[in-house]
A and B are shown apart, each in its own frame.
Chain A
């Protein structure tokens, strides 16, 4: 097929430009490491070694990636509707309350019934916490970025209160719930030991990783294979045209936010039901914000998000290894990298396009003789 003048081939847009942007973001992060007075190449090597150098490292990397797939998909679904949901942090935190309420409150149920109920409760609470800003945006025009940020702060206080006064066993000092024993997701280690008789390195990796894959497939199917997904994408691409075509904007905004929140809520399944087995204070730990970087890097496509989530899983696992090896480099270095990735992959998305165009069409776009 003939290309229009100066239009870059698809693989450049989807593959090369994001890769260049990522490299620039990593180089900028390296400069920060340099300013701190450490060797960026050594730091990078420690990070890669720490996450890919051992089975345990892989386990941790995939466990972090599982969280980021959920929060990344959450941001992506809202993005496709033209909404910027930066409330994944609060939505996932609220979802923990859902998981713990069902997991502890209905623990007389057999696990094949209890576990799906606990997963649904996580999704429902996450969805609820995104539904309110969605309704406020759709019906009252409240700026979704501001309301979702405010809901993060509100959730931080509210869940703290709920754990302290609702879940904390009497007389216990630590602000956390008692152990959830009924709704339980098997860890990779337990499966290897029980069913295969193999002893593998201890890591928090658990069966939720498959849930992440299913969620990624479901989001792809929803967005590109259903009428609702089409309406979501149409609204995001051109709101005026979508409304003209008979799509009800307020309805789609609310639905997209609810789905987004439910996806963020799935993070509670990995973290609470899969790893911690109790509801604890501040358990989300920034994963909601990583979702923004992951979604931008993955171009809001499930496959891109899976890859980006693994990269951030590597950065998180490598980052904690790095802060052991080099106490000078704080764990918050990952937040810096996150910020730079969002900056270069989001705001400076097309910074290198003119240069690439010049490279591909040195004669000013006369490729189609």
Chain B
């Protein structure tokens, strides 16, 4: 019983960065900007959060700096995609590589630990809230152990899903943003700036990736290690495609991926009928499933019509 509670609580923890990155991708791609650079933005944010938190001794300052760094990278991507009309996939790959290199080079220079950051003290981390008085109540306690053992960033992630769904479906900004991803000409004709809308979407994506990165290095873990995002940005993209660019299905897809990662963590060293499952196969599991999901369900999903296509004003 306890194992299942642990597994579900871990599922929620592991899905937090995926949810944030996936919703970041949702905002960006709904406005027509393809974002392969979610991974890089999360990675640089994870590094900056851990570094700033180690230097200033505050998780909140770490979070703030992480968001700034991630938004800076997002703006580079925005400038390349919106003003320069460059290839958005290439720009995203460049962002990923730049983040991976810069994090290690700067980390090595600042902390002299080969690209790691020092282990954070408790006040430098986003620790889970504990509600010990609830855990002993029979049924409520079980739920409390699953849902009420997380840090504030996790609750932020779960709050951002309905908020984004509402904003995209019901607000003037959200409707315009979606229109710009489907038919930028029409939006332009209505006298609304395509570039300004897309920049706002890119910045929102940057903020969310920043929070995701901070969660990874200061809540899930207590320091930055190289390449610690390990492909979650790409899994978030796969979840987004799987969810057909909609917020609530995206939440479901991310929880599924989170569940796989949680199983992976629990299955380390597990054995079936005395046969030990090699650790390599457990590590492979989320990646294989990403491919299977992409291959199995893609036919049904339709991306925003203008996504990836730079907007050129007619003369």
Contacts and interface: CB of A to CB of B under 8 A. Distances in A.
Contact of B281 (A145, A157, A332): A157
B95 to A, nearest CB: 7
Interface stretch (B56-64, B211-219, B248-256, B287-295): B287-295
B97 A146 contact: no
A153 B284 CA distance: 7
Provide the main secondary structure of the chain A interface. helix
- Which range holds the interface residue count of chain A? 35 or more
Interface in B70-105: 76-77, 80-81, 84-91, 93-102, 104-105
B76 A343 contact: yes
Nearest to B114: A330
A347 interface: yes
A343 B105 contact: no
B27 interface: no
A142 interface: yes
B98 A343 contact: yes
A283 interface: no
Interface in A132-166: 136, 140-143, 145-147, 149-151, 153-154, 157-158, 160-161, 164-165
Contacts of B186: none
Given A36-B106, A332-B101, A333-B101, A347 B278 contact: no
Given A336-B101, A347-B84, A342 B108 contact: no
Contacts of B91: 343, 346-347
A300 B76 CA distance: 24
B98 A347 contact: no
Nearest to A38: B109
A351 interface: yes
Contacts of A343: 76, 80, 91, 94-95, 98
Q: Is the interface of B mostly helix, strand, loop or mixed?
A: helix
A157 B283 contact: yes
A304 to B, nearest CB: 16
A86 interface: yes
A140 B298 contact: yes
B280 A348 contact: no
Query: What is the interface residue range for chain B against chain A?
Result: 35 or more
A141 B300 CA distance: 10
Interface in A326-369: 328-330, 332-340, 342-343, 346-351
B234 interface: yes
A163 B89 CA distance: 34
B238 interface: yes
Given A36-B106, A146-B290, A330-B114, 18 more contacts: A84-B90, A140-B294, A140-B298, A146-B238, A146-B294, A149-B231, A150-B290, A153-B284, A154-B287, A157-B287, A333-B101, A333-B105, A342-B97, A343-B80, A343-B91, A346-B91, A347-B77, A348-B80
10 contacts: A143-B238, A146-B290, A146-B294, A150-B291, A157-B280, A330-B108, A333-B101, A347-B94, A350-B85, A350-B86
Interface of B: 36, 76-77, 80-81, 84-91, 93-102, 104-106, 108-109, 114-115, 230-231, 234, 237-238, 241, 278, 280-281, 283-284, 287-288, 290-291, 294-296, 298-299
List of 5 A-B pairs having minimum Cβ-Cβ separation, nearest first: A335-B101, A339-B98, A347-B91, A339-B97, A336-B101
